[in-house]
Structure 1
Amino acid sequence: MSHRQVLEALSGLLVAMFVAILSGTIVANALPTIAAELHADETVYTWIITTTLLAVTVSTPLWGKLADLFNKKLLIQLSLVIFICGSMFAALTQNVGMLITARAVQGIGVGGLTALSQVIMAAMIPPRERGRYSGYLGAVFAVGTVGGPLIGGVIVDTPWLGWRWCFCVGVPFSLIAMLVLQRTLRLPTTKRAVKVDWLGALLITAAVSLLLIWVSFAGHDYDWLSWQTAAMVGGSLVLGALFVLAERTAKEPILPLRLFAVRTISLSSFASLFIGAAMFGSSTFLVQYFQLARGETPTVAGLLTLPMIIGLALSSTISGRIITRTGRWKGFLVAGAITLAAGMGLMGTMRYDTAYWVLALFMFCTGVGVGMTQQNLVLAVQNQVRLADLGAASSLVAFLRSMGGAVGVSVLGAVLSHRVGGYLREGLAALGVKAGATAMDGSIPDLSALPAPIRTVVQSAFGHAIADLFLFSAPAVLVALLAIFLIKEVPLRTTIAHTAEREPAPSTNGFRPGNGAQATAQPASADGIGPADGARPADGSRPANGTRPGSADGTGPGHHGEVTQGERRGR
């Protein structure tokens, strides 16, 4: 495809990604107002966010596997329809229970948009060129992240609109995305006998849901060390073990276990889990910091997060272009993780009265780290798989990142409620005021209704507590950094999976390509990803432009220029 054709096809995907990003950012700024109107406490506030992340988490691998089996264009349009239904349901909600349900429906749609956008992009663009277009995704991410809070803030601050309209804004963009995708997206459809792994989807949904329910209520409704903890954690582990057994026997598993045999995939997925926990877990409460610790309006709170978004947009765009030019990506992952950990640590020092220019520097540093790690982890994984596993592998990274985010939000939400209560008690005691029951009930305070001395105590408590969340998130990034250090860099291919005979596969001596011998049903290689030596992919594809995997042109990571015996037989 030419650059123009790619951009035309990519336009609908970018609008779809904008919808997915907007669904979270536009609501985040309105959540304090929503929580106050629906009488939600801090735990429910967290669950309004967590429910969407949970739905995204559990649906992402299923969407990714469906993309390997069915028409990708129809699937992404279906995910847009589901998102529209969830948005309209959320706009009409009358209580917290309805809102949480609607957010779950939205999350299923967002899971499809997140997984399918990455899969479709990978099906159109070679890994070597994908860094360039990932910069466009980074720019859309930045626009959605900036525009969401601003639009949400304006809607909430406009009396004749109200927070319900926040859920309606994404609907016209979804309709536009559907029309653009219908006109511009052209992908070949491979007809295959399919069997969806519904049992695996059910088991992983139950396992993750039970774990998140435990994390959300532990320390609040029951002790961390209690029979409820034992029952929920034990149940989650049992369900997880059953999921692994189901995936071992499933004909078309939603998460093929053989993918974990590839070092790059397993380590990138592990890193994504902790990056997601740190990124979502801490940044989710940043808007709450500006509104509750600094007393800003929703609109101003959205504007104040601009430095983080600018850092993200710049780093993702610049790193993407350099990766396209050089084919090297690991250095950006390492630098991004270090920068993100430093940003988290610096954000952990903020207080309610910290100078904004200092906060701006800290946020910019954090944004730069996110921009260099988020998309490049997906890129590293996509470079290592064949076409048949592209959807499952891409969704695996997104799944673990979302699961990390959901767990992070739940854990840090519980920590926030506990820390705010402790700081409130200390502050009120210093004023000689006895802390009443309502002061520590976890509800979202109305700062305008509080006397000045009490308001300062509340602002200080929220500022200090939210800073602690960033501080607690920094070690998670360091764990991700360790995993990134262990990843072996493989230069990006210059062919897409449709034209590559063999995806890179690990061997005892490093990565080496397979050969082009003609076969349609041969045993898999030792890593379980590509066909064995002498095998040709089931789709019958050949290398583009006469290139072969492992050649010096970058189409595959050869082993010091060696040609294997299997390659000679295949010629």
Structure 2
Amino acid sequence: MSRGEVVQALSGLMLGMFVAILASTVVSNALPRIIADLNGTQSVYTWIVTAELLAMTATVPLWGKLADIYNKKLLVQLSLLLFVAGSLIAGFTPNVEVLVVSRVVQGIGAGGMTALATIVLAAIIPPREMGRYAGMFGAVFGVATIAGPLIGGVMVDTSWLGWRWCFFIGVPFSLAAIALLQKTLHLPSVRRSGVKIDWLGAFLITAGVSTLLIWSTLAGQHFDWASWETVAFVAGGVVLLALAVWVESRAAEPIIPLRIFRNRTVTLTIVASVLVGVAMFGGTVFLSQYFQVALGKSPTVAGLMSLPMIFGLLVSSIVAGALITKFGKWKIYLVAGAVIMTAGMLLLSTIDARTSVLVLSVHMAVLGVGVGMLMQNLVLAAQNDVPAAELGAATSTLTFFRSMGGAIGVSALGAVLASRVTSLSAEKFGGAGAATGGTSEVPDLSALPPQVLDVVKDIYGTATAELFLIGAPIAFLAIIAVLFIKEKPLSDLSGEERRAREEAALQAH
């Protein structure tokens, strides 16, 4: 494909990717209002984010496996249709329960989109050229992440629109992406006959991960961390995952081929991706709540306040991508990114309800630069080091673990935040907690008297800073993981060319 054809084909993918990212960020500034309107608690707040992340995470390996067997273009379009269905259900939701279910449907669609976009990219572009295009995807990722909270904030603040439009807005974009992909994306149809999907493995992986995530969301809120419920959840999750490993090791076509873990680069990039997911999603999801509750900003202003972090991510991912394509060296950007990300987490652990917007912006920009250098290039390092026939499985496994890190980060840190807010409220308000906003429900600031309002702001400021203090050592572990990755020269062949060459070599033998 010529560069013009590649850019054309990527336009539909980028639009789809834009919508998938938008879905997870557009609700962030609308959540306090949605929760207030539908009478939800802090646990529900976490669940609306976690449900989408969980569904996205659990289905990514399955989408990756399907991509190695069926028509990738059809799968991308199918994932976008699922996404449209989820968005419509969410927009018309009558209560919190239906909203959580709709987020699961959205998550399954978004899981397909995030896994397949990278797989299609690897199929048509050689790793040596990938930096430039990965930079473009990084830019789309950044713009969608900026636009999401902003669009969400504006819609919540616009009386004739309201928060339901946060869900409806993705529908026309998704339909446009489906039409654009139909016209521009041309891939050889790989229909491998006689290949079976390991549904039992897929079920066990999903069930095991879901059990652990549900535990980390409920612990500290509905039962103690050290309790029989914790033992039951953790033991159940571990047993299910152990069974999944056993089933996968015997399956002819496993969902996650265990042999890819023998590849040192893949294993280390997976470890680093989990840590990036925990640090990035875990910390940043709650920043929006911090802007609105601790700093008392409106949803629109809260959206604007996330700009420095996204700008840092945008610039660093495009610049690092262009430099990798030019010089062919990539490890330095992984190490630098991990160090800068850790520094950003440490800086953000110093915030409180009186931190100035300028100081906050600098801290967030530092975190954004680190994540931008690290996230996309971990995928590039892994894709460069696996056989073309396993590109789908390797890419989706990496995305799966990053999303899983994110889901664990959001649910575990959400549980920590909820329990800290409850315990700090009990300390400050004593027995009057329920009457003054010191409950597990997210407070409606406009209804609080001034002296109570100041205390609530302080509570949320302190609790949010503690999340970043927990995230910093996790980010530090990512530095250790990337230091051990061995730099290998980037291939000049696209995934489809590599696959053809590998198949020819097999037939020759």
- TM class by shorter chain equals over 0.9
Partner of 2:423: 422
CA distance in 1, matches of 2:503, 2:39: 64
Deviations 1:141-171 (A, max 9, x none): 1111111111111110111111111100000
User: Contact 2:86–2:105 (CA<8 Å) still a contact in 1?
Assistant: yes
Partner of 2:237: 236
Partner of 2:454: 456
Partner of 1:497: 495
Partner of 2:486: 488
CA distance in 2, matches of 1:238, 1:33: 39
Q: Are residues 1:310 and 2:311 paired?
A: yes
* Secondary structure of the structure 2 residue equivalent to 1:468: helix
Partner of 2:327: 326
Deviations 1:396-439 (A, max 9, x none): 1100011011111111111101111233344446xxx9534664
Partner of 2:6: 6
TM-score, scaled to structure 2: 0.97
Partner of 1:35: 35
User: Contact 2:204–2:240 (CA<8 Å) still a contact in 1?
Assistant: yes
Question: 1:419-568 counterparts in 2 under 5 A?
Answer: 419-428=420-429, 434-436=432-434, 439-500=437-498, 518-520=505-507, 535=509
Structure 1 residue 353: Cα displacement: 1.0
Larger Rg: 1
CA distance in 1, matches of 2:325, 2:137: 14
Partner of 2:214: 213
Partner of 1:57: 57
The amino acid across from 1:393 in the alignment is A
User: Contact 1:386–1:502 (CA<8 Å) still a contact in 2?
Assistant: no
Structure 1 residue 517: Cα displacement: 8.2
Question: 1:25-174 counterparts in 2 under 5 A?
Answer: 25-174=25-174
* Secondary structure of the structure 2 residue equivalent to 1:487: coil
CA distance in 2, matches of 1:11, 1:352: 42
CA distance in 2, matches of 1:519, 1:153: 55
User: Contact 1:420–1:461 (CA<8 Å) still a contact in 2?
Assistant: yes
CA distance in 1, matches of 2:136, 2:99: 32
Partner of 2:391: 390
CA distance in 2, matches of 1:459, 1:278: 24
Q: How many residues are treated as equivalent by the alignment?
A: 508
Deviations 1:22-54 (A, max 9, x none): 001111110110111111111111011101010
RCO (CA 8 Å, sep 6+): is it higher in 1 or 2? Answer: 2
User: Contact 2:346–2:469 (CA<8 Å) still a contact in 1?
Assistant: yes
Structure 1 residue 518: Cα displacement: 4.4
User: Contact 2:389–2:499 (CA<8 Å) still a contact in 1?
Assistant: no
Structure 1 residue 497: Cα displacement: 2.7
CA distance in 2, matches of 1:317, 1:237: 39
User: Contact 2:437–2:456 (CA<8 Å) still a contact in 1?
Assistant: no
TM-score, scaled to structure 1: 0.87
User: Contact 2:339–2:476 (CA<8 Å) still a contact in 1?
Assistant: yes
The amino acid across from 1:303 in the alignment is L
* Secondary structure of the structure 2 residue equivalent to 1:328: coil
User: Contact 1:264–1:384 (CA<8 Å) still a contact in 2?
Assistant: yes
* Secondary structure of the structure 1 residue equivalent to 2:495: coil
* Secondary structure of the structure 2 residue equivalent to 1:444: coil
The amino acid across from 2:208 in the alignment is A
* Secondary structure of the structure 2 residue equivalent to 1:500: helix
Structure 1 residue 491: Cα displacement: 1.6
The amino acid across from 1:78 in the alignment is L
User: Contact 2:28–2:149 (CA<8 Å) still a contact in 1?
Assistant: yes
Q: 5+ residue gaps in structure 1?
A: 504-514, 521-533, 536-571
Partner of 1:359: 360
The amino acid across from 1:95 in the alignment is N
Partner of 1:181: 181
* Secondary structure of the structure 1 residue equivalent to 2:272: helix
CA distance in 1, matches of 2:214, 2:405: 14
CA distance in 1, matches of 2:499, 2:375: 28
Structure 1 residue 519: Cα displacement: 3.5
Q: Residues 437, 237 of structure 1: CA spacing in aligned structure 2 closer, same or farther, 3 A cutoff?
A: farther
Structure 1 residue 500: Cα displacement: 2.9
Overall identity of the aligned pairs, in %:
55
CA distance in 2, matches of 1:152, 1:171: 15
* Secondary structure of the structure 1 residue equivalent to 2:433: coil
User: Contact 2:89–2:102 (CA<8 Å) still a contact in 1?
Assistant: yes
* Secondary structure of the structure 1 residue equivalent to 2:79: helix
User: Contact 1:63–1:115 (CA<8 Å) still a contact in 2?
Assistant: yes
Q: Residues 502, 241 of structure 1: CA spacing in aligned structure 2 closer, same or farther, 3 A cutoff?
A: farther
Kindly indicate which of the two structures has a greater share of residues assigned to helix: 2
Deviations 1:507-564 (A, max 9, x none): xxxxxxxx998433xxxxxxxxxxxxx85xxxxxxxxxxxxxxxxxxxxxxxxxxxxx
CA distance in 1, matches of 2:303, 2:117: 26
Q: Residues 444, 127 of structure 1: CA spacing in aligned structure 2 closer, same or farther, 3 A cutoff?
A: same
User: Contact 1:42–1:443 (CA<8 Å) still a contact in 2?
Assistant: yes
Deviations 1:299-343 (A, max 9, x none): 110001110010000000000000001111111011001000100
* Secondary structure of the structure 2 residue equivalent to 1:302: helix
Q: Residues 78, 517 of structure 1: CA spacing in aligned structure 2 closer, same or farther, 3 A cutoff?
A: closer
User: Contact 2:429–2:438 (CA<8 Å) still a contact in 1?
Assistant: no
